[in-house]
Amino acid sequence: DEDDQTVVVEISSVLNGTESGEQQQTITILDDDAAPSVTLSVDIPSIAEAGGVAVLKAVLSEVSEKDVTVSLAFGGTATFGDDYSRSATSIVILAGQSFGTVTITAVQD
């Protein structure tokens, strides 16, 4: 997956003739690659209340030439701040990379 790309062509010189003003043409190559799919996994499904850490990993089906942002929604019976903290609310997978992570840390209450 990549952005559309352009080819810019212009006259650099003319032999035995003259250029009629400045000539420049742009051709756009339209990207037809599908956006990659994302799979979310966790390294440990259960963590200790006193500072246990779980790592959520978002993996792309294939590397993209664009940054991919995976927004996360949090729910369940645990309360953010009282029961756990998180390193972010989204995972940004940078162009050229195949995965990104967010950590969940349990809080002793």
Pair of tokens at residue 105? 């840390």
pLDDT for res 2: 79
- How many CB atoms neighbour CB 19 within 10 A? 11
In terms of Cβ atoms closer than 10 Å to its own Cβ (0-12, 13-18, 19+), residue 84 is buried
| Entry field: residues in the chain | 109
Q: What sections of the chain are H helices per DSSP?
A: none
pLDDT for res 76: 95
Cα gap 72→79, rounded to integer Å:
15
**Quick check: pTM over 0.85?**
no
pLDDT for res 79: 95
- ∠ Cα 26 27 29 (to 5°): 140
Residues of the chain with pLDDT under 50: none
HSE-up of residue 61 (Cα within 13 Å, Cβ side): 7
Name the nearest CA neighbour of 62 among 93, 84, 24: 93
